[in-house]
Structure 1
Amino acid sequence: MEKTLRFLFFLVLVGLGWAAQAAANPPTVPGRLVLKLKPGQSAAALETAFRTLDVSNVQQKFPRAIAPSPEKPGSVELRGIYQLQVPATLSLDRARAVLLGTGLVEYVEPLYIRLPQYQPNDPGADSTLTSLTTSQYYLKQIKAYRAWDITRCDSSIVIGITDGGLRLTHEEFRRQIKYNYADPVNGVDDDGDGYVDNFNGWDLANNDNDPGYDINITHGSMVAGVSSAHADNSVGIAGLGNKCRLLPLNIYPNTPSGSFAGVEAVVYAADHNCRVINMSWGAVGGYSRYEQDAMTYAAVNRDAVLVAAAGNTNADLLFYPASYDHVLSVSGVSSTDQKSPSATFSHRVDLVAPGVSILTVSGYHATWSGGPADADYVAVGGTSFSAPLVAAAAALVRWQFPQYTAAQVAAQLRQTTDNIYDLPANSTWINRLGTGRLNVLKALTKTNLQEARVLSTTFSPTRVVYLPGDSIRLMVTVQNLLQPIADLTVTVTSLSPHVTVRQGSFAAGGLASLARTSNTTTPFRLVVANSGIPLNTKATLRYRLSGAGGFQFDQFVDILLNPDYVVLDGNDMAVTLTSRGNLAFDNLAGTVGAGVTYRGSSNILSEGGLLLATSPTRVSDRLRTRAGQARQSFFSTAQVVRVHPGPRADQEARASFQDSIPVAGSLARSVGVAVRQRAFAWASPGRRDFVVLEYTLKNITADTLKPLYAGLFMDWDMPTSDGTGRNAAAWDSTRSLGYTYALGQPAPNLPAVYAGVKLLRGGAPAVYSFDNNAPVGAPVRLADGFSPAEKFLTLSNGTTQRTAGLPGGADVSQVVGARLTKLAPGDSTTVAFAMMSAPSLLQLQAAADAASFVFATLLPTRLAGFASAFNAYPNPTTGQLQLQLPEDFGPATVLVLDLTGRQVMSLRALGRQVDTNLAGLTPGLYLVRAVGARRVLTRAVVLQ
């Protein structure tokens, strides 16, 4: 079967554009998702949600996986994982909202494409390799020859090579493959494992029984040569694994229906008795719970040693799968033990192995001088070839210490490395190249070793990032993997000036081999600095485990501090605010920010943010536009900060940003406004369901902006128990309240069914509700983007478009805004909104009324002062109202304003007392403003 790379490249290119993945993430398989059901749930329960999202080809990923066992703490369930095909135009965040909203699903993720970690050497490298003895220098460097005197392993230990296909007929491989004699090639699944004729291994990417090589993908043969080339055959090279066997598993597609299958190959290898699994592939970023589940299953449920290449980027970064828990991360060094020039380094690296000029099987048909026509070799470099050295060493250790678990084998390898940090060339990377360079002899002969290790870390509160002033509790689970340790102590130290450890010692006491303990009852306590933290700072914490007899072992964990957003979480509604006007998230992928939640719910706001406009072409925002992209009109002038407590609320947030100033004579595409954003949240009863957002807008152009429109775009996703995600949007004109609500039954354990935005202050109210997937030709249709002209329409169309999604429900969005008649050059005005959520419409309306009252009484305008001497009786009132002015106030004009700032009544006050009647007005909250010769006083009045 002819195999080429073009389908892989097609998937990579398409994947780059699908689901608007963050730039730091690897590409994804287009139109494909994976989800995990909560325990006790079935995929059939999601049928309605699947119909809503137009899901097809639902497949259980690992139906034959073994169940988690209480005898194996930390083991996981894989049988609840399903793969879905969805339309390529469906956003990941929309799919997440609908599926997570059912309450039946643990996570929803894309399928990442991980690439081989191959770094070819320069063209002249081969000319220096004059003999086999010198070409495999690394065998002597890692003490392989002496190690083989201890053991050369045997065919019972199998290394799973999850990579490109293998040259099955190659002289170095054909006697090393672990053939499955229980399932010969006869068209029948003789061994009943669900794979027909998997005699030679399996091609997971294309779902066939041919794991053979693609002439363009020789990486698998190169990797397998390092670990498993046939020794003592008088030809070519010797793999470090010697007599261990290998199982070839192809993970790269070569057919139109194929797709990257590294994770599937790991599970297959674990289920087919591979005691060691090598992964010389990966990518920067893209942490996946699905992938971590698969790694945990292989390592804990199936007790396989997982080994992965740490990456070929000369930087300190997380690289997956190497950086997952239960995976040995292997970086590379040269023949002199200096870090390889391109090798990745980090605190997640476990150890290093040679990775420069590694002679191995080429996989091509070129003839190697002195060997048979099918035996060819090449010197290559990269951590791809460091990893299989460690995988082969793990296989030898498994044979030498058959009683060891996979975790103990990993500990044995870590604790027997040779120190490389004494080399001046490596001083830059201390503690970021693991414990040292692989020494196979020591790994097979040392028996008095100790290693206690932090197995898991739990931060409380659980967050992706931590904000200035945050207090953190830190719980750890510790296990002793090797010989018993007495008087074990775990000490946590901050290596960052921005984190202070308040309580950092845990006396674990004596631990027998494989015993565990935790500090759940007395957690470590940390505090983040209140100020002075640069944006997106990584802070490193060091665990130092020490015990009697001189045992000491260090581990590290990183936390991210001071992102370019804050979260107001002081009441029942937690809201993310960014430095540039967005709400919920700072990117379309939904990976930067904590979203918007209500009483511990999942995220309920897919996308939100400020919109400003003066015409269909002059629009400023950072919202979606088209093709998975977002406009970038606003730039930050003062980073968003959280004040806790604030001067006027229990939590406050402040930020400043602006768009560009239109150039005279050019086609202006920006409005030219500087924005000062303020947000307020209260924890007191009656004020827990809303957050007030206040925007002060300043005209920074030389022209009067008339009119100026300002509003909030909100793509709410209120989940339902039937999984349809059927929402509708409506408008409460008496309250200037636009809201979205779930049709049908609310999702289990989700308190929020309604969410909305109320205009508190500004010009004439505006609302525009619409179906995101409206038919082609609709005035606004997010399915094909959100153009500036469409955004202007939503702001400038008044209140005519009040509802959407009725009667059957839809994926809806809403813009709630205000029309400001004009804003002169240099002038400022304020527009204010309240974001809110509640279990019912009645409670939402109550929250809206409470927000109005709070805004009027606790957040007075800067121009109109409040004075205790300006009184109103009775308040609340059913109509009759008596006003009392200060003695020295003098004649005044008394204005009655509704909360949009519109004047509804005016009267003249000549003395201290004024009597009036509000009975003709709509019940609600009003501002009564007395305008005198020297000052302005304001009172809030509630009309019942």
Structure 2
Amino acid sequence: MENMLRSLLFVVLLALGWSAAAAAGPPTVPGRFALKLKPGRQPAALEAALRTLGATDVRQKFLRTLPPNIEKPGSVDLRGIYQFQVPTTVTLERVRTVLLATGAVEYVEPHYVRYPQYQPNDPMADSTLTSLSKSQYYLKQIKAYRAWDITRGDSSIVIGITDGGVRLTHQDLRQQIKYNYADPVNGIDDDGDGYVDNFNGWDLANNDNDPGYDIKIIHGSLVAGVSSAHTDNGVGIAGMGNKCRFLPLNIYSNTPTGNFAGIEAVVYAADHNCKVINMSWGAPGGYSRLEQDAMTYAAVNRDAVLVAAAGNTNADLMFYPASYEHVLSVSGVSSTDQKSPNATFSHRVDLVAPGVSILTTQGYHAKSGGGQADADYVAVGGTSFAAPLVAGAAALVRWKFPLLSASQVAAQLRQTTDKVDNLPANAAWKDLMGTGRLNVFRALTEPSREARVVTSTFVPARAVYLAGDTIRLSVAVQNLLQPIAGLTVTLTSLSPHISIQQGLFVLGDMASLASLNNTLNPFRLAVASSGIPLNTTATLRYHLTGDDGYESEQLVELVLNPDYVVLDANDLNVTLTSRGNLAFDDLSGTIGTGVTYRGSGNILSEGGLILATSPTRVSDRLRTRSGAARQSFFNSAQVVRLQPGPRADQEARALFQDSIPAAGNLARSVGVGVRLRAYAWSSPGRRDFVVLEYTLKNLTADTLKPLYAGLFMDWDVPTQDGSARNAAAWDDSRSLGYCYALGQQNTPSLPAIYAGVQLLQGGSPTVYSIDNNAPAGSSLSLADGFSPAEKFITLSSGTAQSNAGLPDGTDVSQVIGTRISTLAPGDSTIVAFAMLSAPTLLQLQDASESATIAYATTLLPTRASARAVDFVAYPNPTEGPLQVVLPQGFGPAKVQVLDMTGRLVKSFSATGKQFETNLAGLQPGLYLVRAIGTNRVVTRSVVLR
């Protein structure tokens, strides 16, 4: 039996395309995505963007769900969620960027696949439990027999079993199914709910009316038996829910066109009057706003109690859907209340229930001894089978106390458990096993109290917090059960990196269902100024106490010291990472806050530094083939933000490098150390740009000749019609590459945006504008990734490929770079860029000239070599004629004359050391003469009379 169950599980996982790597996060369905429209937006606004992505099968995901109810605070609207299919070659990053750029979309997510939390019983590994495998020992452990003396429930209370198919003919299940007599099997949707002949449940994965048994997946039959097996029928076992019924809902595919349908089944169950919904499936990580919306809808809009398995990970982690808000997370214990060997433990667990040697219905196949599939049973283990015990108990509580809401039923179950983490065997998991082990009798008989923090609002609202940040935390507290006298909430920090400056909230006496908040006097926190490890999760504890001995705790977490900083001093907010990337540190766009301009959505889907000396010696952390990212750079020091900095209102510092090529093996790496200094100003005239200055040091024993350095920028400027009709262009006089949307109207709802990068200092400018949609086989195509050889082409092709996207517009990228002719071993050179954005091209050009002035007047004077003493411009002052002498060995130069607003007024090339120009015709005043050479830029101020 043991080997058979192991084999079956393997077949299940193999059939669904899962692998051992799933433990790192849930797999997804290739090409399947969902989006949620912002309130008030219509799907028509997305049509062009979806066409750009090649989207098909676009349809409203939850057509018949209830709208939000103002009498149910926190209820959600699922009607704006749409599902669609795109070619499997289109990445999540691409889908998310194109759709979010329309301004009409709240979120975009892949279709996650969650797997059953099944763990076969292993008698040889746990020989002390073999005698338990033939009995329902756990019913006595959780006081089920005494509970049934209080109530046995009723057939009107329905538990939604969202799982694999169920053996509908099993002797202990067939009479427990909640049949839909309003829609008999006749080929007609008699009850008008949109599902034809959903008489005995529904198969959400394959979209048919057969939620029954599948040879590959018996998990649903196992789970249904625990919660709902027929009681008092003289055969088999007793289900925890006793007289309560269950609704079988299959969520796993058994057809080539099927898909995992966990959240669809939850919404279906909620819409079909399931007062309790069981989810014995999930995966570590992979938080989904779509899944959270579905849980909120079921629990708040539809008032269903949601119960989920906490997972079989034997780890302290977030496990979904169990770790979502409004879900009871159930972990497992043995017959002696010791934590099950493989059960998840965490602060997010609500309670535990027996999860070892759980005897239940199997419904697999006829046995060699003559037994029938409709009469077989098996003992199994895992949190999958602890959860339906709690679901069955929730059903009994709902019947006994019909006026309790779903949140109150969950509170009653939490507050009537038997504490088990104080047992010596559970010492290692103290405070990580919820309130205790399920006690159904107490849940049905004891008046209980539970006040709960129902919302936590951090100000400023950020995904992560930096060293030195100060935070205000407002909470809303609701008393869910019996009145509590003298309630107080005390906030403490379990992290050494957060100090509590004000941590007391006195609520006083609270009646049942009363709510209070501390918005007028919030908690105040301070993040440590130093010593915080990267990406630290800090935990805060709410300790709730009452005058009459009431006591409970809750935890809330926040992330500190991320491996990126955001320069947000002006209108252009830019995320900088520790390893050379811009906007995000990952291709999925989850680590970082992107690049925004004047409150826009993200306008840069991917950006970062590229260094190269040949088609094979290329360093970057950008996309490559197969949807992966290269990992050439590693950080030598974490990126930090200075506010204010020595020379700007905000500055950032980062230090990283690639690997040093081994002797005789120059492939793949360049061997350069990089020091990044970034600058942002809040003063008028400097609000539309951020300066990025890279000091590049040759770490190898060989001269790099030439060395190319550049920024790859996959801009996504939003368009009025939601399409990706962008174009890329090059302004040679300013060394400025930029991207814009065709047909921009600059309306209040969608202001126009021009975005670009300007080379401020370095060698000879290079630009390469890319049509991202160019088909495979083109001179450069991103359809099959972005190879090192292609990256080298973008840097080494000069300025010949300077435009893309015209005349009709397309999805475009640009690489703005420079060619440094030589860099000797141990030598350093400076390359500087300005990232810019503005509402019009003229304003972008003005910002470019302002950036030039800011760099020349604020930053270059601090560099010893920036203002060469042998760079001469005379006579000064001048009536117009001007003699210019370049420094010795400066070489060919591009010469620019700028007025003091930063506007370029004259530009030309010079090949000799000395030349003449004339400023006649310009307005009298102060001008800046700038010479851009191969390896440096020099400037001189000149007064025109």
Cα distance, 1:747–1:620 mapped onto 2, change above 3 Å: farther
Instruction: State whether residues 579 and 638 of structure 1, in contact with CA within 8 Å, keep that contact through their aligned partners in structure 2.
Output: yes
Q: TM-score, structure 1 length as denominator?
A: 0.92
Shift of residue 12, structure 1, vs aligned partner: 3.2
Asked if 1:645 is matched to 2:644, the reply is yes
Instruction: State whether residues 678 and 695 of structure 1, in contact with CA within 8 Å, keep that contact through their aligned partners in structure 2.
Output: yes
Q: Tell me the amino acid that sits aligned with residue 266 of structure 1.
A: V
Between the aligned partners of 1:199 and 1:875, the Cα distance in structure 2 is 94
Cα distance, 1:300–1:899 mapped onto 2, change above 3 Å: farther
Between the aligned partners of 1:106 and 1:897, the Cα distance in structure 2 is 46
Shift of residue 550, structure 1, vs aligned partner: 2.1
Between the aligned partners of 2:879 and 2:345, the Cα distance in structure 1 is 72
- Give the one of 13, 17, 33 matched to 1:12: 17
Between the aligned partners of 1:942 and 1:169, the Cα distance in structure 2 is 96
Q: Tell me the amino acid that sits aligned with residue 844 of structure 1.
A: L
Between the aligned partners of 1:368 and 1:141, the Cα distance in structure 2 is 34
Alignment of 1:639-678 (within 5 A): 639-678=638-677
1:102 is matched with: 102
- The farther-off stretch of 206-215 and 470-479 is 470-479
1:887 is matched with: none
Q: Tell me the amino acid that sits aligned with residue 731 of structure 2.
A: D
Instruction: State whether residues 156 and 244 of structure 1, in contact with CA within 8 Å, keep that contact through their aligned partners in structure 2.
Output: yes
Instruction: State whether residues 23 and 284 of structure 2, in contact with CA within 8 Å, keep that contact through their aligned partners in structure 1.
Output: no
Instruction: State whether residues 203 and 251 of structure 2, in contact with CA within 8 Å, keep that contact through their aligned partners in structure 1.
Output: yes
2:298 is matched with: 298
Q: Tell me the amino acid that sits aligned with residue 862 of structure 1.
A: R
Q: Tell me the amino acid that sits aligned with residue 608 of structure 2.
A: G
Cα distance, 1:129–1:820 mapped onto 2, change above 3 Å: closer
Cα distance, 1:896–1:475 mapped onto 2, change above 3 Å: same
Cα distance, 1:44–1:212 mapped onto 2, change above 3 Å: same
Shift of residue 321, structure 1, vs aligned partner: 0.6
Cα distance, 1:442–1:846 mapped onto 2, change above 3 Å: same
- The farther-off stretch of 645-654 and 829-838 is 645-654
1:933 is matched with: none
Between the aligned partners of 1:23 and 1:584, the Cα distance in structure 2 is 28
Q: Tell me the amino acid that sits aligned with residue 374 of structure 2.
A: D
Shift of residue 907, structure 1, vs aligned partner: 8.4
1:557 is matched with: 556
Shift of residue 463, structure 1, vs aligned partner: 2.2
Instruction: State whether residues 364 and 373 of structure 2, in contact with CA within 8 Å, keep that contact through their aligned partners in structure 1.
Output: no
User: Deviations 1:239-264 (Å, cap 9, x if unpaired)?
Assistant: 11111101100000000111000101
Q: Tell me the amino acid that sits aligned with residue 929 of structure 2.
A: Y
Q: Tell me the amino acid that sits aligned with residue 122 of structure 1.
A: D
Shift of residue 519, structure 1, vs aligned partner: 2.2
Instruction: State whether residues 158 and 245 of structure 1, in contact with CA within 8 Å, keep that contact through their aligned partners in structure 2.
Output: yes
1:888 is matched with: none
Secondary structure at the counterpart of residue 854 of structure 2: helix
Shift of residue 292, structure 1, vs aligned partner: 0.8
1:403 is matched with: 403
Cα distance, 1:152–1:827 mapped onto 2, change above 3 Å: same
Cα distance, 1:618–1:920 mapped onto 2, change above 3 Å: farther
Secondary structure at the counterpart of residue 389 of structure 2: helix
- The farther-off stretch of 121-130 and 402-411 is 121-130
Instruction: State whether residues 849 and 925 of structure 1, in contact with CA within 8 Å, keep that contact through their aligned partners in structure 2.
Output: no
Between the aligned partners of 1:31 and 1:777, the Cα distance in structure 2 is 23
Instruction: State whether residues 15 and 29 of structure 1, in contact with CA within 8 Å, keep that contact through their aligned partners in structure 2.
Output: no
Alignment of 1:279-428 (within 5 A): 279-367=279-367, 374-428=374-428
2:5 is matched with: none
- The farther-off stretch of 259-268 and 22-31 is 22-31
1:862 is matched with: 863
Between the aligned partners of 1:240 and 1:594, the Cα distance in structure 2 is 47
Structure 2: runs of 5 or more not aligned:
1-7, 898-906
Between the aligned partners of 2:635 and 2:629, the Cα distance in structure 1 is 16
Between the aligned partners of 1:731 and 1:432, the Cα distance in structure 2 is 58
Instruction: State whether residues 585 and 592 of structure 1, in contact with CA within 8 Å, keep that contact through their aligned partners in structure 2.
Output: yes
Instruction: State whether residues 763 and 902 of structure 1, in contact with CA within 8 Å, keep that contact through their aligned partners in structure 2.
Output: no
User: Deviations 1:631-688 (Å, cap 9, x if unpaired)?
Assistant: 1111111121122221121211111111122223235221111111111111222212
Shift of residue 547, structure 1, vs aligned partner: 2.6
Asked if 1:737 is matched to 2:736, the reply is yes
Q: Tell me the amino acid that sits aligned with residue 851 of structure 2.
A: A
Between the aligned partners of 1:316 and 1:898, the Cα distance in structure 2 is 62
1:19 is matched with: none
Percent of residue pairs identical? 73
How many pairs are equivalent?
921
Between the aligned partners of 2:752 and 2:536, the Cα distance in structure 1 is 34
Alignment of 1:819-898 (within 5 A): 819-860=819-860, 861-864=862-865, 879=880, 898=895
2:454 is matched with: 455
Between the aligned partners of 1:697 and 1:725, the Cα distance in structure 2 is 35
Instruction: State whether residues 894 and 906 of structure 1, in contact with CA within 8 Å, keep that contact through their aligned partners in structure 2.
Output: yes
2:3 is matched with: none
Shift of residue 917, structure 1, vs aligned partner: 5.5
Instruction: State whether residues 33 and 110 of structure 1, in contact with CA within 8 Å, keep that contact through their aligned partners in structure 2.
Output: yes
1:135 is matched with: 135
Secondary structure at the counterpart of residue 313 of structure 1: coil
User: Deviations 1:358-408 (Å, cap 9, x if unpaired)?
Assistant: 111123125498976621111111111110011111001111111100000
Shift of residue 748, structure 1, vs aligned partner: 5.8
Cα distance, 1:26–1:926 mapped onto 2, change above 3 Å: farther
User: Deviations 1:713-742 (Å, cap 9, x if unpaired)?
Assistant: 000111112010211000111111101111
Secondary structure at the counterpart of residue 162 of structure 2: strand
Instruction: State whether residues 353 and 438 of structure 1, in contact with CA within 8 Å, keep that contact through their aligned partners in structure 2.
Output: yes
2:904 is matched with: none
Asked if 1:44 is matched to 2:47, the reply is no
Cα distance, 1:514–1:802 mapped onto 2, change above 3 Å: same
Q: Tell me the amino acid that sits aligned with residue 863 of structure 1.
A: A
Asked if 1:926 is matched to 2:925, the reply is no
Q: Tell me the amino acid that sits aligned with residue 677 of structure 2.
A: R
2:151 is matched with: 151
2:208 is matched with: 208
Cα distance, 1:902–1:623 mapped onto 2, change above 3 Å: farther
Q: Tell me the amino acid that sits aligned with residue 398 of structure 1.
A: R
Structure 1: runs of 5 or more not aligned:
17-21, 884-890, 910-914, 930-935
Between the aligned partners of 2:877 and 2:217, the Cα distance in structure 1 is 78
Asked if 1:724 is matched to 2:726, the reply is no
Cα distance, 1:882–1:789 mapped onto 2, change above 3 Å: closer
Q: TM-score, structure 2 length as denominator?
A: 0.92
Q: Tell me the amino acid that sits aligned with residue 113 of structure 2.
A: I
Instruction: State whether residues 101 and 719 of structure 2, in contact with CA within 8 Å, keep that contact through their aligned partners in structure 1.
Output: yes
RMSD: 3.4
Shift of residue 749, structure 1, vs aligned partner: 3.3
Between the aligned partners of 2:878 and 2:548, the Cα distance in structure 1 is 80
Shift of residue 878, structure 1, vs aligned partner: 8.8
Cα distance, 1:899–1:143 mapped onto 2, change above 3 Å: farther
Between the aligned partners of 1:853 and 1:164, the Cα distance in structure 2 is 66
Alignment of 1:110-125 (within 5 A): 110-124=110-124
1:535 is matched with: 534
Cα distance, 1:879–1:774 mapped onto 2, change above 3 Å: farther
Between the aligned partners of 1:902 and 1:702, the Cα distance in structure 2 is 38
Asked if 1:223 is matched to 2:223, the reply is yes
Shift of residue 11, structure 1, vs aligned partner: 5.1
- The farther-off stretch of 82-91 and 305-314 is 82-91
Shift of residue 600, structure 1, vs aligned partner: 2.1
Instruction: State whether residues 337 and 437 of structure 2, in contact with CA within 8 Å, keep that contact through their aligned partners in structure 1.
Output: yes
Secondary structure at the counterpart of residue 783 of structure 2: helix
Asked if 1:771 is matched to 2:771, the reply is yes
1:495 is matched with: 494
User: Deviations 1:295-325 (Å, cap 9, x if unpaired)?
Assistant: 1111011100000011111111111111111
Instruction: State whether residues 652 and 680 of structure 1, in contact with CA within 8 Å, keep that contact through their aligned partners in structure 2.
Output: yes
Secondary structure at the counterpart of residue 408 of structure 2: helix
Between the aligned partners of 1:146 and 1:697, the Cα distance in structure 2 is 75
Shift of residue 511, structure 1, vs aligned partner: 2.7
Secondary structure at the counterpart of residue 531 of structure 2: coil
Alignment of 1:460-479 (within 5 A): 460-479=459-478
Shift of residue 123, structure 1, vs aligned partner: 4.9
Instruction: State whether residues 129 and 357 of structure 2, in contact with CA within 8 Å, keep that contact through their aligned partners in structure 1.
Output: no
Shift of residue 38, structure 1, vs aligned partner: 2.0
Between the aligned partners of 1:312 and 1:943, the Cα distance in structure 2 is 78
